[in-house]
Structure 1
Amino acid sequence: MIELIKQIGLTKKQWWLIALGALGWIATIVASGLGWNPFPVNWSFTNSGAFGDSFAPISALMALIAALGAVGAYKIQSSEIARIRAREEEFDKIAQSDRARAISRQELLDRQTQKQIFENTFFQLLKSHRDLVNGLDLTERETGRQHQGHDVFRLMIEKFKEILNGDRTVKNVARVWESFSEHFRYDINHYFRMMYHIVKYIDNSEIEDKYLYIQILRASLSEGEIALLALSCDYGEGRQKFKVLVEKYALLHNLSEHEIRFWKLRSKYSKSAFSRDMGSTDFNEYNSGGGFGS
């Protein structure tokens, strides 16, 4: 009721005047009913009817009060509806914020799970590759000395250079590589296919920092392995598919300057093959194709 009175908008003084006026009329009616006649008029139905008509202003006043009450009630209802709508909108915003946080948490969990799965597979592949290297062995015919693991690749490169006999023309290197890769096909073909699939696995993944895992792989390669990788991608099967990945991820980065110059690799590879910072950082420009491995 108090809220309704406030919504009508009348002052306290105005409300007091209306109340006093209404009480005055009511007091007059009651006094007349008790026999008090302040007017020199004989009472009759006709006179009482005329007297009743004199209350028309009161009726009008009460109608006005009712109208003002209706207006006040409408304002109160409108204000309440507006508050309810504002509250609902606030609840909707809170609900949307909660859903967004829930989605964000789920996406984070999905990324963490995806990373864990990726790393488990990556390090298993890397272990298999290292086991393959450690399982390699090579015996020198002249001395009978046996070489194992990374040392096998060092010896292969030395023998390759010995067979070249100083002739490092493209034609001669290609000829020697063909004979070399055929002689060691059971060792190096399997080795390079395994390495290719590891790099391709990183490249195809949706992991954020792919280069970090490339660095881990790259750090495990010996000088001889990197040199043979460069030759394979220049003269062997790696030309078709692996070379673009070598240039994309700077797989020749740890190769010594001596080996780079000896094999004239800077004229055969883009700068990005030796240093990621020197090459393009937009990996989308690379497209793999061909058939090194499956």
Structure 2
Amino acid sequence: MNMKFYQKPWFIFGLIAAIFLIYGLALENGWWILKGKDDGQLGTFGDSWGMLTSLFSALAFGGLMITIWQQQEELGLTRKEMKDQQFENMLFKMLEVHANIVADLDLRSKRANNQQTTTGRDCFTAFLRRLTGNYNYYQKKDPSKSDQELVEVAYRYFWRKNRNNLGHYFRYVYNIFKYIDNSDREDKKTYTNIVRAQLSDHEVALLYYNCLSEFGSEKFKPMAVEYELFDNMPKDLLIRVQHEDLYPQKAFGSSQP
């Protein structure tokens, strides 16, 4: 905390000492109003020294109280800084764990009698491809269903098939956002933007459909909208471009027209 010079203890006590010194010199040398006074008058004036001493004692006490108040204010700022640092340390630890969860993902599939393994972030491209296939299947099966209904039924089937791979991932991403949302930070959007920056486009697209399903619509979707999670998400990753209408405009941030 930057204090002005007149708030600093050395200035306060220096000023008091200077006044005492000037007063003492005035008594000693007969300056100013003491000039020309007889001994009786000087004695009477000298008696005021005791009163002035009491006054400056009170001023000294006031200076001490100012110092204590300043120290308490500095301590309060220090505690806030420590709390902020703890919050950020925890958040970045959570992001490290998230990165490890993504890195540990692996999918195995057979194509033309060859087993293929997909790992890490590349898995989300495969997940989105599977979800798209499910959606197209149910759309052909029952074209009368609305986009929202088709998303729900397609995602439900997708989730049954991929829960073992994605359950931990979605729970953890949700808890990162929940950690920020439950904090007393005023700049929550800044921190959710940091989290958003760690997610690949295909991750965000899969989260898009997770939040539209029964598995994310109640708890995760409100935070996704509030913190504009889908800002700058490539629309060509949506199964259908019309699915953009399944969210309020706020979810796409200020970059949207």
TM (normalized to structure 1)? 0.63
Are 1:150 and 2:124 counterparts? no
| Aligned twin of 1:160 | 131
**Unmatched 5+ residue regions in structure 1?**
16-64, 279-294
For the 8 Å contact 2:134–2:158, the answer to whether it is kept is no
**Counterpart secondary structure, 1:139:** strand
| Aligned twin of 2:226 | 248
Cα displacement string for residues 9-68 of structure 1 (whole angstroms, at most 9, x for unaligned residues): 9x969x7xxxxxxxxxxxxxxxxxxxxxxxxxxxxxxxxxxxxxxxxxxxxxxxxx9xxx
Q: Which amino acid aligns with 2:127?
A: M
Q: Which has the larger radius of gyration?
A: 1
Distance 1:12 1:242 in 2: 88
Change (3 A) 1:261 1:228: closer
Distance 2:245 2:164 in 1: 30
Alignment of 1:28-107 (within 5 A): 73=44, 77=47, 79-80=48-49, 82-107=51-76
Deviation at 1:110, TM superposition (A): 1.3
**Counterpart secondary structure, 1:128:** helix
Q: Using the aligned pairs only, state the percent identity.
A: 27
For the 8 Å contact 2:212–2:221, the answer to whether it is kept is yes
Distance 2:249 2:70 in 1: 44
Alignment of 1:196-211 (within 5 A): 196-207=174-185, 209-211=187-189
Cα displacement string for residues 87-134 of structure 1 (whole angstroms, at most 9, x for unaligned residues): 234223322321222112212221232233223222221111111111
**Unmatched 5+ residue regions in structure 2?**
1-25, 140-145
**Counterpart secondary structure, 2:110:** coil
Distance 1:103 1:265 in 2: 55
| Aligned twin of 2:84 | 115
Aligned residues: 218
Alignment of 1:255-270 (within 5 A): 255-259=233-237, 262=240, 264-270=242-248
Change (3 A) 1:158 1:81: same
CA RMSD of superposed structures (Å): 3.3
**Counterpart secondary structure, 2:153:** helix
For the 8 Å contact 2:201–2:234, the answer to whether it is kept is yes
**Counterpart secondary structure, 1:141:** strand
Q: Pick which of 166-175 and 121-130 moved more.
A: 166-175
